């Protein structure tokens, strides 16, 4: 797995054992939105395969994406997203469909003992079909668009609803200044965010689903992905100030099961508020942003009412982009602090402390030449209070010291031959081939014998070769 709790993977990175259990009651308004989403997906007639966002807008992938391939967005790409994926011409066909396939080979310094990897995979040096996805992605009606992904995982050998973001947006003016206002209905906090400094679309954009990954992560950083339904409203004024607020609730277990999703995140008590603020500045060839975001959630363990655990997440983030001629340079960074009050976990003996804190910091810098040749260097660091209940010794996945601390580097080089104006298959085909290396200085609290079973942090260093095809 990737060391970050990232977007597209069906994995868990919950901050404690208690968040791996629970359910929620759906508020009437959000339930109605979910019903509308289900109706849209189920009742839509079949359609032929159709072009992606690039065909809809009439511009190549390089206009929206750094390096000519998603998901890292340019200023134009962020505006397209905020306008509800609906900018451009309506397709002649019924639905905007597209697809994606990710295949890989990974090699970890020291393999995983037999039986700990999913069936059909060896202890090390595995080839995998990571993902095969179909998207309903683009304009559905004037001002209305979607990004809905259904994914087959070749690791889990299962199909499930993946990321989903449906939004309605309008553009107007106040005081002679441009204003974009919109509403997003989505299933993963920060999936709707237009910057690549928040968790869902942050670096690394893909990673191994088989290599060991650190066990601790903040709730907003993947702990609720695909298991919630949220509605947020946002505004972007004068290309400068971005404001967003809304709320999330976990979905019923039987509904998640019908979508192929495990009900692992827990059941929320009430609704979980989410907020986001950012300032953005365009300076011709340069663009930067500074922002903050946060979420508060209360979860019942075992999907049964009783004591609940509270998670309060607040994050700070920033981005910088320089795009001129053949050269593109970008920097993204974020810091998240989480306060945990673990009434349920502490009462059940799953946590040694009633109150804990968890922190994470990530930063990456990327350079692309001619939107074709790319090099990205990233750093990640997670640290927090020692808790021998939450972070107990266990082979590979545990912590001998009872600490969540993990840090290291991720370096990636990639080649994107298509995606430019006049490229082969434009605008229907794009391809990225990449080589990624993850190196750990510390893993689950330690450098040497971190799990109590003789494994070192560097044993989890992983070389990951991937081919990523979009069509």
Q: What is the mean pLDDT of residues 143-159?
A: 94
Q: How confident is the model at residue 91 (pLDDT cuts 50, 70, 90)?
A: low
**Closest among 339, 365, 345 to 299, alpha carbons compared:** 345
Residue 28: φ, ψ to 5°: -55, -45
Reported as a pLDDT band with limits 50, 70 and 90, residue 4 is very low
CA quadruple 252, 1, 345, 353: dihedral, nearest 10: -150
pLDDT tens, residue by residue, 347-387: 999 999 999 999 999 999 999 999 999 999 999 999 999 99
pLDDT at 12 over 50: no
- Note the pLDDT of residue 83: 97
Average pLDDT over residues 293-299: 97
Q: Which pLDDT score, from 0 to 100, does residue 41 have?
A: 34
In which region does residue 158 sit, left (phi positive, over 0), alpha (psi from -120 to 50) or beta (all else)?
beta
- Reading phi first (left if > 0) and then psi (alpha if -120 to 50, else beta), residue 95 is in beta
| Percentage of the residues of the chain whose pLDDT score is greater than 90 | 75
Share of the chain above pLDDT 70, in %: 88
- Considering only 40-49, 136-145, 279-288, 345-354, which range has the smallest mean pLDDT? 40-49
Q: Over 50: is that where the pLDDT of 40 sits?
A: no
Does position 44 have pLDDT exceeding 80, yes or no? Answer: no
Adjacent-strand bridge partners of 323:
328
- Between 57 and 238, the more confident residue is 238
286 pLDDT band (50/70/90 cuts)? very high
The answer to whether the beta carbons of residues 181 and 234 sit under 8 Å apart is yes
- Report yes or no: 439 and 409 within 8 Å, Cβ to Cβ: yes
Q: Within 13 Å, how many C-alpha atoms sit on residue 353's CB side?
A: 18
pLDDT of 90 higher than 70: no
Distance between CA atoms of residues 453 and 460, nearest Å: 14
- C-alpha to C-alpha distance for 118 and 195, rounded to whole angstroms: 34
Distance CA 375, CA 437 (A): 12
pTM above 0.75, yes or no: yes
Of the listed ranges 21-30, 60-69, 87-96, 345-354, the one predicted with least confidence = 21-30
CA distance 177 to 108: 53
Among the listed residues 169, 100, 182, the one whose alpha carbon sits nearest the alpha carbon of residue 139: 169
pLDDT for 19: 33
Query: What is the spatial distance between Cα 193 and Cα 232, in angstroms, rounded to a whole number?
Result: 11
Distance CA 469, CA 453 (A): 39
Q: Is the pLDDT of residue 46 over 70?
A: no
pLDDT score of 250 more than 90:
yes
Q: Give me the DSSP letters along 12-60.
A: ---SSGGGGSB--PPPHHHHHHHHHHHHHHHHSPP------HHHHHTS-
The confidence band for 7, taking pLDDT boundaries of 50, 70 and 90, is: very low
**Taking 90 as the threshold, does the pLDDT of residue 109 lie above it?**
yes
Compute φ and ψ for 39, nearest 5 degrees.
-65, -40
* pLDDT value at residue 428: 79
User: Is 2's pLDDT higher than 80?
Assistant: no
Report the C-alpha gap between 346 and 35 in whole angstroms. 37
Q: Are 243 and 194 spatial neighbours (Cβ–Cβ below 8 Å)?
A: no
pLDDT in tens, 397-445: 999 999 999 999 999 999 999 988 888 888 778 899 999 999 999 999 9
Q: What is the pLDDT of residues 158-169, one digit of tens each?
A: 999 999 999 999
Q: What is the pLDDT of residue 289?
A: 98
Instruction: Give the mean pLDDT of the chain.
Output: 87
Quick one: average pLDDT of 96-110? Answer: 94
Which pLDDT value is given to residue 292? 98
* pLDDT value for 166: 98
Instruction: Give the pLDDT mean for 148-162.
Output: 95
Confidence of residue 263 (pLDDT cuts 50, 70, 90): confident
User: Between 18 and 137, where is the model more confident?
Assistant: 137
Of the two residues 95 and 149, the one the predictor is more confident about is 149
- Could you tell me the two tokens for 413? 């080089």
| Confidence at residue 382, expressed as pLDDT on a 0 to 100 scale | 98
Q: Which domains does the chain have, with CATH numbers?
A: 17-470 (2.40.160.10)
């Amino acid at each position: 797995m990737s060391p970050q709790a990232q977007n597209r993977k069906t994995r868990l990175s919950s901050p404690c054992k208690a968040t791996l259990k629970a359910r929620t009651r759906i508020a009437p308004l959000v339930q109605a939105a979910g019903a509308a989403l289900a109706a849209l997906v189920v009742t839509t007639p079949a359609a032929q395969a159709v072009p992606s966002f690039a065909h809809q807008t009439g511009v190549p992938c390089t206009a929206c994406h750094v390096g000519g391939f998603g998901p890292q967005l340019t200023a134009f790409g962020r505006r397209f997203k905020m306008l509800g994926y609906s900018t451009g011409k309506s397709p002649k066909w019924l639905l905007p469909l597209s697809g994606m396939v990710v295949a890989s080979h990974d090699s970890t310094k020291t393999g995983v003992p037999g039986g700990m990897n999913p069936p059909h995979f060896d202890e090390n040096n595995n080839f995998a079909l990571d993902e095969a996805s179909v998207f309903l992605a683009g304009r559905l009606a004037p001002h209305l668009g979607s990004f809905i992904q259904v994914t087959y995982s070749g690791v889990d050998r299962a199909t499930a609803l993946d990321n989903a973001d449906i939004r309605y947006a309008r553009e107007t003016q106040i005081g002679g200044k441009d204003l974009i206002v919109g509403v997003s209905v989505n299933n993963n906090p920060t999936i709707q965010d237009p910057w690549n400094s928040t968790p869902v679309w942050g670096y690394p954009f893909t990673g191994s689903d088989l290599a060991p990954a650190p066990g601790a992560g903040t709730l907003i950083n993947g702990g609720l992905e695909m298991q919630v339904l949220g509605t947020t409203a946002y505004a972007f004024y004068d290309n400068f100030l971005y404001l967003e607020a809304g709320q999330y609730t976990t979905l019923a277990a039987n509904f998640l099961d019908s979508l192929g999703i495990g009900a692992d995140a827990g059941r929320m008590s009430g609704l979980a508020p989410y907020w986001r603020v950012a300032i953005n500045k365009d300076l011709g060839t340069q663009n930067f942003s500074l922002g903050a975001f946060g979420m508060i959630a209360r979860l019942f363990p075992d999907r049964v009412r009783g004591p609940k655990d509270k998670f309060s997440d607040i994050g700070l983030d920033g981005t910088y982009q320089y795009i001129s001629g053949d050269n593109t340079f970008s920097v993204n960074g974020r810091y998240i602090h989480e306060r945990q009050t673990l009434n349920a976990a502490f009462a059940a003996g799953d946590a040694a402390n009633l109150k804990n804190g968890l922190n994470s910091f990530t930063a990456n810098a990327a350079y692309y030449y001619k939107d074709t040749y790319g090099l990205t260097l990233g750093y990640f660091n997670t640290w927090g209070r020692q808790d021998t209940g939450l972070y107990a010794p266990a082979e590979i996945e545990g912590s001998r010291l009872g600490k969540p601390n993990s840090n290291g580097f991720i370096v990636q080089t990639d080649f994107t031959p298509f995606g430019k104006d006049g490229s082969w298959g434009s605008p229907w085909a794009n391809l990225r081939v990449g080589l990624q290396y993850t190196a750990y200085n510390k893993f689950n609290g330690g450098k040497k014998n971190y799990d109590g079973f003789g494994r070192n942090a560097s044993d989890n260093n992983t070389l990951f070769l991937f081919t990523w095809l979009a069509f």
